[in-house]
Amino acid sequence: MNFSSRSYSTPSKVKNLQPFPTLLDILAYQVQHQSEKTGYIFLEDGETESSRLTYQELETQAKAIAATLQSCTQIGDRALLLYHPGPEFLIGFFACLYAGVIAVPVYPSHSRHNLSRLASIISDAQVNIVLTTESLFNNLENHWIKQPAFNHLKWLTTETINRDLASQWIKSEISKDTIAFLQYTSGSTGNPKGVMVSHDNLLNNERLLEMALGHSDKTVVAGWLPLFHVIGLVGNIIQPLYLGVPSILMSPNAFIQKPIRWLEVISRYGVTTSGGPNFAYDFCVRKITPEQCSDINLKSWTVAFNGGELVRADTLEQFTEKFAPYGFRPQAFYPCYGMAETTLFVSGGLKTGLPVVHKVNSDALQQNVIELEQNDQVKTQKLVGCGQTFFDKIIIVDPETKTRCQPNQVGEIWIGGVSVAQGYWNDSELTKRTFDAYLADGKEGPFLRTGDLGFFQWGELYITGRIQDMIIMDGRYYYPQDIESTVETSHPALRIGANAAFSVATEEGEKLVIVQELKRTYLRHLDVNEVVTAMNEVVTKKHQLSTHSIVLLKTASIPKTPSGKIQRYACKEGFLDSTLNTVGVWTNNVITVGN
């Protein structure tokens, strides 16, 4: 299937038409006008409804917890939200808003890696209280007691709090400039940083989402993304509240265990908007069988957003081909771009248009130059457009000279607008470097430096990669995702979407390293030499590169963020300090088996 291009005029500047200054004003409006309407439906196992939550119930329960918080915290204190997916997280989040406490949503796992991440967040945010459930507290207590970083924390198990306490809640003085929550970045390119998101940032971004995705009071939202993650929180929780429409929520584990559950939810509830990162659509293509699809109908699905990582043209084509017989339309695909530092949404296409896909010259792209290419004899690659921008200003800048790039040049994406967050918590120096950038002449700014590479062409914003992830060898630029895509299909023992390419410094200069997970069924009788030979051959043939090292990992052991992104920087650190869970390592024709 070939996706065609679309054309449209540049949108007019978005006007602030919303009279409500804070998110609590939005909830109050919904309670006033439709208090008994179900705002949220929770599916415990991805299939069975475990609970429903009306706007009135959300307000009452949140105020009860807020009253308790007010008795043991000060305005502006930070509270860790430690919940499994469910209504408790949602109620706890709004309780923080009502109490004037800054919420810090996190991933509720006691794995060694996540405990280290949590310790870092608690220290950085200067957290002094944790909101959680009784069962989760009992499960985590022994793990947390052993961690010195957690000894000072107060714990509040929120589901045991009496609703009658709502009458004791005292209204806090909050405004559009009040910090609503700290969104800690995924850590895909380094240590997590606390993005300060104000009520004004939130409501402005919700307006952009409503307009860009063509939402209305007929919209029905569903999602499986983690509620502590920016897409899950801003997209799947707050956007439905902003619109006054239902949201059906399931856990990430329910989706990973059985991805057909996602499509069944869309079919059963007539969902119009749902989505996730590119890997989710790949996962559906690989794991869902035709027999599982016999009863699904995807005709209601009009916005299948694809964001959070680079969008692959092959993924869009394969997903459409597989699920078109069940009512999925290619026009439903909605490639988009956003990040925590912009609250969430930055750019997206037309709701009714096909995704825009162009072939560009691969050799020119390695020189950061964009050349449209139709010649099949020339090495090309497909790039997917992420739509038009809905921000006040986006420019493409040479990250070294801080001057504007030419239209056919790849550069760093700089953004200006009301949805740009307030900066990083407790880090004024990094905030100034990242959120207060000016062009070299000092006249244009301030801008947010995204750290993402891209360009504007053909009426679209294209994302090509991350500056920190770029592999520069012999004066040429290589995008790691291109190498990773090449490698993962070179041998049947390799897991799709479970590898990382990066460079390391050696005496001979920068050299390529590839870390790759193996399928569980190949672990016992693995021919390491056969696998690394296949990987080396495709890298040499397609990219004209020599590989310094190949590291084969045990199944499900590659470092990932809580939202499922590969952590290339963590893979590199693990390679350098030999802490990866390896099955075999090939370096300069020498194979070492095991750790």
pLDDT in tens, 200-243: 999 999 999 999 999 999 999 999 999 999 999 999 999 999 99
Question: Is 290 contained in some domain?
Answer: yes
pLDDT of residue 430 exceeding 90, the answer is yes
In terms of C-beta density within 10 A (0-12 exposed, 13-18 middle, 19 or more buried), how is residue 458 classed? middle
* Average pLDDT rounded to a whole number, residues 256-274: 97
Total domain count for the chain? 4
pLDDT of residue 370 exceeding 50, the answer is yes
Q: Print the domain residue range for 289.
A: 270-336
**CATH number, residue 295:** 3.40.50
pLDDT of residue 527 exceeding 50, the answer is yes
Give yes or no: residues 452 and 481 share one domain: no
Asked if 270 contacts 299 with a C-beta cutoff of 8 angstroms, the reply is no
The reported pLDDT for the residue numbered 10 is 35
End of a domain among 203, 232, 257? 257
Give yes or no: residues 364 and 445 share one domain: yes
Q: How confident is the model at residue 448 (pLDDT cuts 50, 70, 90)?
A: very high
Sign (positive or negative) of CA dihedral 385, 386, 391, 397? negative
* Adjacent-strand bridge partners of 250: 43
End of a domain among 467, 497, 529? 467
Question: Is 103 contained in some domain?
Answer: yes
Write out 26-46 in H/E/C secondary structure: HHHHHHHHHCCCEEEEEECCC
Residue from 459, 347, 470, 454 nearest 411 by CA: 454
The reported pLDDT for the residue numbered 303 is 97
Give yes or no: residues 106 and 232 share one domain: yes
User: Which positions ≥6 away from 508 have C-beta within 8 Å?
Assistant: none
Q: Report how far residue 567's alpha carbon sits from residue 559's, in angstroms, rounded to the nearest whole number.
A: 6
The token duo for 362 is: 């691969």
Question: Is 133 contained in some domain?
Answer: yes
Instruction: For 99-169, list the strands marked E by DSSP.
Output: 102-105, 129-132, 154-157
* Average pLDDT rounded to a whole number, residues 68-74: 95
Question: Is 418 contained in some domain?
Answer: yes
* Average pLDDT rounded to a whole number, residues 303-309: 93
Decide which of 19 and 329 is more confident. 329
Which tens digit of pLDDT belongs to each residue from 143-201?
A: 776 677 778 889 999 999 999 999 999 998 999 999 999 999 865 555 779 999 999 99
Helix (H) or strand (E) holding 222: strand 221-223
Write out 423-436 in H/E/C secondary structure: CECCCHHHHHHHHC
Give yes or no: residues 523 and 499 share one domain: yes
Question: Is 342 contained in some domain?
Answer: no
Asked if 496 contacts 489 with a C-beta cutoff of 8 angstroms, the reply is yes
Give yes or no: residues 481 and 545 share one domain: yes
Question: Is 5 contained in some domain?
Answer: no
pLDDT of residue 16 exceeding 80, the answer is no
Give yes or no: residues 29 and 160 share one domain: yes
Q: Report how far residue 195's alpha carbon sits from residue 505's, in angstroms, rounded to the nearest whole number.
A: 32
The reported pLDDT for the residue numbered 588 is 81
Question: Is 352 contained in some domain?
Answer: no
Residue 464 has φ and ψ, to the nearest 5°, of: -110, -20
The reported pLDDT for the residue numbered 563 is 67
Q: How confident is the model at residue 564 (pLDDT cuts 50, 70, 90)?
A: confident
The token duo for 474 is: 């012999």
Asked if 82 contacts 132 with a C-beta cutoff of 8 angstroms, the reply is yes
Q: Coil, strand or helix: which one is 478?
A: strand
Question: Is 2 contained in some domain?
Answer: no
The reported pLDDT for the residue numbered 439 is 97
Give yes or no: residues 460 and 475 share one domain: no
Give, to the nearest 10 degrees, the angle between helix 260-269 and helix 278-287.
100
Please list the alpha-helical segments (H only) found in 379-465.
Answer: 428-435
Decide which of 390 and 133 is more confident. 133
Tell me the one-letter amino acid at 334. Y
- Which of 55-59, 192-196, 292-296 is predicted least confidently? 192-196
- Which of 58-67, 88-97, 106-115, 408-417 is predicted least confidently? 106-115
**CATH number, residue 169:** 3.40.50.12780
Peptide bond into 446 cis (omega under 30): yes
**CATH number, residue 514:** 3.30.300.30
End of a domain among 426, 450, 467? 467
* Average pLDDT rounded to a whole number, residues 37-60: 96
Residue with tokens 């070939």: 2
**CATH number, residue 447:** 2.30.38.10
The token duo for 544 is: 């004209």
Give yes or no: residues 329 and 200 share one domain: no
In terms of C-beta density within 10 A (0-12 exposed, 13-18 middle, 19 or more buried), how is residue 69 classed? buried
Q: How confident is the model at residue 307 (pLDDT cuts 50, 70, 90)?
A: very high
Give yes or no: residues 544 and 449 share one domain: no
Neighbours of 566 (CB within 10 A): 25
Q: How confident is the model at residue 5 (pLDDT cuts 50, 70, 90)?
A: very low
Q: Report how far residue 269's alpha carbon sits from residue 484's, in angstroms, rounded to the nearest whole number.
A: 37
pLDDT of residue 7 exceeding 80, the answer is no
Give yes or no: residues 181 and 40 share one domain: yes
pTM listed for this prediction: 0.88
Give yes or no: residues 449 and 517 share one domain: no
The token duo for 109 is: 């796992």
Q: What is the mean pLDDT of the chain?
A: 91
Residue 275 has φ and ψ, to the nearest 5°, of: -175, -165
Give yes or no: residues 249 and 292 share one domain: no
pLDDT of residue 250 exceeding 90, the answer is yes
